[in-house]
Structure 1
Amino acid sequence: MGRGRGHTPIGRRERATQDKRERIMTAARELFAGHGIGGVTTQQIADRADVAIGTLYRYASTKAELLIMVQNEKFAAAVDDGLAAADAIDGQGVLDPVVALIRPVVACVREQIENGRTYLQELVFGDPAEPYRRAGVALAARLEGGITGLLTREECVDAAEAAKLARVIIAIIHLSTTATMYLDRSDEALLADIRDQIHATLAPCHPAA
């Protein structure tokens, strides 16, 4: 039976490469979730994935990059969930939709505090040219763009002002989810505080927010 036009079968080498990458991702995901990035070594990840340490380094050159690989998947799902939740909210005002958007993001970052803090730190201070960080930064930009879009629903805020306010809200999220003084708060308590800060940020332009 002939192959369909345009169909390129995956060769044995490509399948082996995909299999190794998935095993490495699964091993890193499980170990980071159970012990945090500080409690895991790259050798442990390689052993769990049943690959040589040299093979692991062909996929990610550092433990931080492995964490970013794992967290990017979680972060992408959180942003998707947040955007869907925000779109489902009807009515006036932007505060509730913005909080709905960031709720799953906050939960994602705080699911394992050490991992979340390290992930955000790596995105802010790491090499933006590194592929995994570049993908993470693109996700962060998607989140910021989603917030910007929600803010522009208000007639009193133009696109430029919305972009500035969204940047401030992103800073609020980063500080609130990573600062040591807030680590003992529950997600709901933290979200309530973030909501108050966003309300204060939007108040001059959105009296009804």
Structure 2
Amino acid sequence: MNQEPGRVGRRERAMADKRRRIMEAARSLFAERGVGGVTTREVSDRADVAIGTLFRYAASKAELLIMVQNEKFRTAIDDGLVTSGALSARGASAEDAVMALLAPVIDCVREQPENGRLYLHELIFGDPGEEHRSAGLAEAWRLEASIAELLRAVPDVDPDARATLARVITSIIHVTMTATLHLRDSPGDVKEVIRSQLAAILWMPR
């Protein structure tokens, strides 16, 4: 038997409201104490939902972190695309355009280094079929494809090589932002480290 449209609409609105409350609770608690200092029970209490309800939206604390960070990651990529696109249109070098794309992403991940570090680790090494990881990986592939597009400005590099270079650059980003060596570095320091490696691979003799 089909349910009444109004009833379906109410259920969907209730689900959206619970998801919003869970997201807001997790975001604020992770910002206050870091993901390691927060329990799923505390998130459910602040969101005013049952713990079982919370687990229907995210099955673990790691998935909660991914759910929260995915939105920040998506916004950072969008912001970077605007800036890098404008630079590229004005004839900027591939190095400058790529760094303009990456700068908001680095700021996003380094806003809370421990949270960002765990986010990247879980995104890469967790189950890629899990809903929130799948969404995060889709954003990572979008970032990589955007880097490859900006590499059109590099002379004498064919499309296959651009894709490979983009994969190398994303690997550099991941290692630099998760390595313990750089854990206490400022976002500016991280950008300089990534820029130096980016320059080395873009302008090496071919």
User: Would the TM-score normalized by the shorter structure come out above 0.5?
Assistant: yes
- Structure 1 residues 50-199: aligned runs within 5 Å: 50-89=48-87, 90-199=90-199
Q: Which runs of 5+ in 2 are unaligned?
A: none
Amino acid of the residue matched to residue 70 of structure 1? V
Q: Displacement of 1:154 after TM fit?
A: 3.0
* Contact map agreement 1:156 1:205 (CA 8 A) in 2: no
Amino acid of the residue matched to residue 132 of structure 2? Y
Amino acid of the residue matched to residue 133 of structure 1? R
- Equivalent residue for 1:23? 21
Kindly indicate which of the two structures has a greater share of residues assigned to helix. 2
Amino acid of the residue matched to residue 14 of structure 2? A
Q: Displacement of 1:93 after TM fit?
A: 2.2
* Contact map agreement 1:157 1:205 (CA 8 A) in 2: no
Aligned length: 199
Amino acid of the residue matched to residue 35 of structure 1? R
SS in 2 for 1:11: helix
1: CA distance between counterparts of 2:12 and 2:193?
48
2: CA distance between counterparts of 1:64 and 1:30?
15
Runs of 4+ in 1 over 3 A off after TM superposition: none
Q: What TM-score, normalized to structure 1?
A: 0.91
**What is the RMSD of the two structures over their aligned residues, measured on CA atoms?**
1.4
Amino acid of the residue matched to residue 120 of structure 2? L
2: CA distance between counterparts of 1:36 and 1:169?
28
1: CA distance between counterparts of 2:117 and 2:16?
29
Amino acid of the residue matched to residue 188 of structure 1? G
Q: Which runs of 5+ in 1 are unaligned?
A: 1-7
Q: Displacement of 1:92 after TM fit?
A: 4.4
* Contact map agreement 2:154 2:202 (CA 8 A) in 1: no
Residue 34 (str. 1) matches residue 39 (str. 2) = no
Residue 47 (str. 1) matches residue 45 (str. 2) = yes
Amino acid of the residue matched to residue 200 of structure 1? A
Q: Displacement of 1:107 after TM fit?
A: 0.6
2: CA distance between counterparts of 1:93 and 1:36?
37
2: CA distance between counterparts of 1:205 and 1:42?
51
Work out the percentage of aligned pairs sharing the same amino acid: 57
